[in-house]
Structure 1
Amino acid sequence: MKQDSTVFLRKCKGLPFVEVRTALNSAVCYHAHSHDEFSFGVIDNGTARYQNLKTTNRIYKLDTVTINPGDIHSCNPDSESWSYRMLFVDAGWIGAAQEETFDMYSADYNGFLRAHKTDHGLYSCFEVLYNALMQGTNPLASESFLLQYIVRNFDREENAGDVCRKMSSSVVGRVRERLFDQLETNHSLHDLALDAGLSRYHLIRKFKSVYGLSPHALQIDERIKRAKELLKQGTTIAEASTQLGFADQAHFQRNFKKRLAITPKQYQSFFI
């Protein structure tokens, strides 16, 4: 494991579908972004303003934060620094665990209904899970603790309804598909609005209402997520920047750091 002054990244031994991010006395701020994975974790010190889609919370020490795949969110400290630990778990694995545990067959996965929890018992459960994952000596124990944590967060009562985040079949959903299918293309707002049969203003308004970001910002966010996978595979920063349609490496690196608080080079160093 490599590190900078405040942030640690680690892929878990024996559980390759789990990544751990730890921030110690960090002052970094995050631009609104999303993840393909489920992400959840705890606040160890300090306070922060946490925004998930249209909901904003003030979060404190011992609080738990939960984020569904695709949720546009940001979480930034109130003061000079804060400390937290987050897990990123493959959505497919979560879905399979839910199906196995709760006999759910109607969705790919069920999402968290609440983005913020103050259950300090949940903090203690996370502590046990985190320590097992960081030790990495017993994958059986680590996966067992992870399943127990999942059961505690996704019980039958909380997920009685189908809260699966499926792609919208609406007009803005089709625009989103076009942006993601042509990720390297820098579309004009005029062309997207014309394709959707909406004015430019109404396209932006409807799109932000559904996804929390403008079309351009959501495409940038998806590019950064794809960039993470390319960097893990050993793709150079220059190649990733070109493949994903960034104007230049500086534009790529600036947007990457806004969302992950580290540079592409620093991120790649954790995995290569």
Structure 2
Amino acid sequence: MPKVKSIRYLAAADGNAELIFCNNSTIAYPLHNHTSVFTIGIVLEGDIILNTHNTDQVYGKGQTFIIPPYAPHSIKGNDAYSLLSLCIRKSVFNSSDDIEKVIISITNLLAEAVDSYKINQEPALKLLTCLYYSNGLFPAATSNNDPYIDKLKRQLELFPENKFSVEAMADAALKSKYYFIRRFKEIVGLTPHRFQIQNRIRKAQRLLCERDTITEVALSTGFCDQSHFIKQFEKLVGLTPSTYKLSAGIFKPGVKSQQSAGINLAKR
């Protein structure tokens, strides 16, 4: 009997960390970046191809990798793979006073994942060890010193639902449309349109845990067409919005996390 395919999301109640468990997945994630988190991953089964800086690197069972904020990357597998990823807010590493508390919170989060998802303790401990020894060694996000693009990038992160046409952005930068697109991609790693769509989907992920309907979330994140929203969401997240809503949980120490019993993706 084949293994059940599933993706689970488990977030810490303080919002500083999230675990993503891909079990027997065949999903390929297109080029994207994470604007506010560091990602540490470990391959549990199979292997993945991680593309960063236009270079493919194969990671096999038991191997770990780190992806800093804003680093464009894509992920795919040669076949089905299982992957555990820990996403940590970059602001955590700017506050030495809270880092110990955050590590304790992450330790509890991993313990909950081991218990709930029946993950072997060894890779979870290896992930935690990778975090511990990497603290303070993460490369800082860099900028090519373009104040306008830095400001625009921040606006697209905070208010992705707003209407920002490429033409208007280029005019405000006093650049031609095509030069502006090339310059933005050079600094951010994605085109302005792709970056805005990505941030809309990230915001939608947060809102799906708070709002009742997919239609409401789609409109709140700037999508006028619900089918377009669902298509873009599934392309980036690997799940439809409704399936993601069921698969996401919040972990509070001492309280059983609110999660579905299982998300069967065998028909996907």
The verdict on a shared fold, with TM-score over 0.5 as the criterion, is: yes
| Aligned-partner SS, 1:233 | coil
TM-aligned CA deviation for residue 207 of structure 1: 0.9
- Aligned residue in 1 for 2:122: none
Structure 2: how far apart are the matches of 1:133 and 1:50? 27
Cα deviation, 1:29-61, whole Å, max 9, x if unaligned, reads 112233332221111222222123554322222
Q: 1:184 pairs with 144, 161, 172, which one? A: 161
Q: Which runs of 4+ in 1 moved over 4 A?
A: 97-101, 128-131, 144-149, 166-169
Distance 1:136 1:168, change over 3 A: farther
Displacement of 1:148 after TM fit? Answer: 5.2
Change (3 A) 1:16 1:208: closer
> In 1, distance between residues paired with 2:64 and 2:80?
18
Which AA in structure 2 matches 1:226? Answer: K
Q: Name the counterpart of 1:140.
A: none
- What is the rounded CA distance, in whole Å, between the counterparts of 1:67 and 1:85 in structure 2? 13
CA distance in 1, matches of 2:15, 2:163: 34
Deviates more, 1:248-257 or 1:27-36: 27-36
Relative to structure 1, the CA distance from residue 218 to residue 51 in structure 2 (aligned partners, 3 Å threshold; closer, same or farther) is same
Tell me, which stretches of 5 or more residues in structure 2 are unaligned? 101-106, 117-124, 250-257, 259-268
Q: CA deviation at 1:265?
A: 0.9
Q: In the TM superposition, what is the alpha-carbon distance from 1:193 to its structure 2 partner?
A: 0.9
Cα offset, 1:223, TM superposition: 0.6
What letter matches 2:11 in structure 1?
Answer: K
Identity %: 25
Shift in alpha-carbon separation, 1:236–1:45, aligned structure 2, 3 A: same
Task: Mark the CA change 1:216 to 1:97 in structure 2 (over 3 Å): closer, same or farther.
Answer: same
Whether contact under 8 Å (1:129, 1:146) holds in the other structure is: no
**Aligned ranges 1:70-149 → 2 under 5 Å:** 70-78=70-78, 80-97=79-96, 132-135=111-114, 149=130
Question: Structure 1, unaligned stretches of length 5 or more?
Answer: 102-127, 138-143
Q: Deviations over 1:132-178 (max 9, x none)?
A: 242579xxxxxx998754331135xx46xxx4326765132233234
Specify the alignment match of 2:238 in structure 1. 261
Distance 1:247 1:51 in 2: 32
Residue identity in the other structure for 1:151 = Y
Aligned to 1:154: 135
User: Counterparts of 1:267 and 1:192 in 2: how far apart (Å)?
Assistant: 32
Counterpart amino acid of residue 89 in structure 1: I
Q: Aligned with 2:208: secondary structure?
A: helix
User: Aligned in 2, Cα 1:189/1:70: closer, same or farther, shift over 3 Å?
Assistant: same
Partner of 2:252: none
Q: Which moved more, 1:34-43 or 1:225-234?
A: 34-43
**Is residue 197 from structure 1 mapped to residue 190 from structure 2 by the alignment?**
no
Structure in which a larger fraction of residues adopt strand: 2
Amino acid at match of 1:191: A
In the TM superposition, what is the alpha-carbon distance from 1:17 to its structure 2 partner? 3.3
1:52–1:71 Cα contact (<8 Å) kept: yes
1:41 corresponds to which residue? 41
**Which residue is 2:152 aligned to?**
175
Distance in 1 of aligned mates of 2:208 and 2:86 = 19
208-217 or 232-241: which moved more? 232-241
1:106: which partner in 2? none
Answer whether contact 1:49 1:57 (CA < 8 A) is retained.
Answer: yes
RMSD: 3.2
**Structure 1 residue 258 displacement after superposition:** 0.8
Please tell me whether the aligned partners of residues 64 and 127 of structure 2 are also in contact (alpha carbons under 8 angstroms). Answer: no
Letter in 2 for 1:71: A
Q: Is the 8 A contact 1:47 1:60 kept in 2?
A: yes
- Cα distance, 1:181–1:195 mapped onto 2, change above 3 Å: farther
Residue matched to 2:18: 19
